[in-house]
Structure 1
Amino acid sequence: METAIHEMPDHARVWVYQANQRFTADQKALINEQLSAFTGQWAAHGQQLVATFSIVHDQFIVLAVDESMHQASGCSIDASVNVIRQIEQQTGLSLLDRTQVAFLADGEVKTYAFNQLKQAVLSGEVKPDTQVFDNTLTNAGEWKTRWVQPAGDTWVSRYF
């Protein structure tokens, strides 16, 4: 599944959901099952959407839809959020909390609440070259090229 997202055209719409912890094997299996079923039948105004998902770093779900044939409608986007909520309920994960920022340090994803970020910088846990995930990206091209960047090149740089 992880390579499928890279095959989406750069204009494909993307949503990134960050978990509050690494996925267990059971959680990954449930996520794969739920999202495979969902993307296989995801439709907007009765038209099948070309969609895929990936589990990345065992802590992120990346959902993508190629809107060149049919655009995702408000109702279809709501349906995608509902399946994410169902996954939250079934796994105990938090996937919709946007108050956490994730970094890649020593090959591990670490998350900090926004109000802990300044202290993480002061303590040296987060440095200008620490990789930060930008989960606000909206298309596959951005996700492929700018999802992970050095903290010093992002909005986090104001803390250095």
Structure 2
Amino acid sequence: MFVDYKSISDDAKVWVYPSSRKFYKTEIEAVENKVKLFVESWKKDDENFTASYQFLHNRFIVLIADDEKSPLTNADIDASVAFILELQETYKIELLDKMNVCFKQGEFVQYKELKDFKKLLKNKALTGKTIIFDNLIANNHDFKNFWEIPIEDSWYNRFL
């Protein structure tokens, strides 16, 4: 069942899908509608299951599932991945590559391959204070508190 994000528990599972490009203004409404429709129909026959989503910076699709009362099965997770693959195909973007890096540069969110990110650090184009998005977080508590953090406080600090 779809619920407001604010009502999801801190223990809920989180999957962050960073887009290889910002969604165009002409795409945003349709993308958000598709994501909401998917979340509304995800395990819709199970009244104990609650889920939500966030669409952030016109680039990140975040699925949140509180499966404490109704555990997710492999089939449920496969359904979410199939949905994300469908979005990739429809919008000609990459959403599943977790080895790419997203970070803030001023008010903009940048998306770089890891090798290019390392070059930016080496050339001092980025510093330890640069805000990075840790898209590998796994629960809602970490999403709220540790998704946007300085590089020096993240697991990416090994590249500094």
TM-score by length of 1: 0.90
Contact 1:18 1:61 (C-alpha < 8 Å) held by counterparts: yes
Counterpart CA distance in 2 for 1:109 and 1:130 is 11
Structure 1 position 136 matched with structure 2 position 136: yes
Q: Which amino acid aligns with 1:108?
A: F
Counterpart CA distance in 1 for 2:40 and 2:156 is 37
Counterpart CA distance in 1 for 2:6 and 2:106 is 24
Counterpart CA distance in 1 for 2:125 and 2:110 is 10
State the Cα deviation string for residues 45-82 of structure 1 (Å, max 9, x = none).
x5243111111111100000111221111101100111
Counterpart CA distance in 1 for 2:6 and 2:122 is 36
Counterpart CA distance in 2 for 1:68 and 1:155 is 28
Counterpart CA distance in 1 for 2:105 and 2:140 is 24
Q: Quote the offset at 1:121 in angstroms.
A: 0.8
Contact 1:15 1:64 (C-alpha < 8 Å) held by counterparts: yes
Task: Identify unmatched segments of 5+ residues in structure 1.
Answer: none
Q: Quote the offset at 1:25 in angstroms.
A: 2.0
User: Which structure 1 residue ranges, 4+ long, deviate > 4 Å from structure 2?
Assistant: none
Which residues in structure 2 correspond to 1:23-102 (within 5 Å)? 23-43=23-43, 46-48=45-47, 49-102=49-102
Aligned length: 156
Partner in structure 2 of residue 104 of structure 1: 104
Counterpart CA distance in 1 for 2:112 and 2:34 is 28
Q: Quote the offset at 1:126 in angstroms.
A: 1.4
Q: Secondary structure at the match of 2:93?
A: coil
Q: Quote the offset at 1:88 in angstroms.
A: 1.0
Counterpart CA distance in 2 for 1:141 and 1:24 is 30
Contact 1:132 1:151 (C-alpha < 8 Å) held by counterparts: yes
Q: Quote the offset at 1:114 in angstroms.
A: 1.1
TM-score by length of 2: 0.90
Counterpart CA distance in 1 for 2:149 and 2:36 is 29
Contact 2:16 2:62 (C-alpha < 8 Å) held by counterparts: yes
Contact 1:129 1:150 (C-alpha < 8 Å) held by counterparts: yes
Task: Identify unmatched segments of 5+ residues in structure 2.
Answer: none
Q: Quote the offset at 1:98 in angstroms.
A: 1.9
Identity percentage over the alignment?
26
